[in-house]
Amino acid sequence: MTPLERVEQELRRYEHVLMNFSARPMADGGVELMIGLKQPVEGAHVYYAPIHPRDLQHSQFTWNFRRYLFDCLHDYVVEMFTRTPSSRD
């Protein structure tokens, strides 16, 4: 199984009401995870997150991937704030 196939297989286990998940190969042998909104929203971007080849080969890949996916979702949602109390006006 290729690294991309491994990530795609894992992604099939996840379904989200707002987000789409996909992946593509990277030149270094890793895989790039992509998270985007199912319904486009102005100002929202696609989130890209690299998965290093060593992480793909780790014996605990399934659990590590879950944590990484959830961390990426958190970061993606936080990046979509247009203003926060710490924003400079």
- pLDDT tens for the chain, 89 residues long, are 899 999 999 999 999 999 999 999 999 999 999 999 999 999 899 999 999 999 999 999 999 999 999 999 999 999 999 898 988 76
Alpha-carbon separation of residue 18 from 37, 55, 58, 73, 78 (angstroms): 6, 27, 29, 11, 15
Rounded to two decimals, what is the model's pTM?
0.90
Token pair for 63: 């659990």
Question: Do residues 35 and 50 touch, judged by C-beta distance below 8 A?
Answer: no
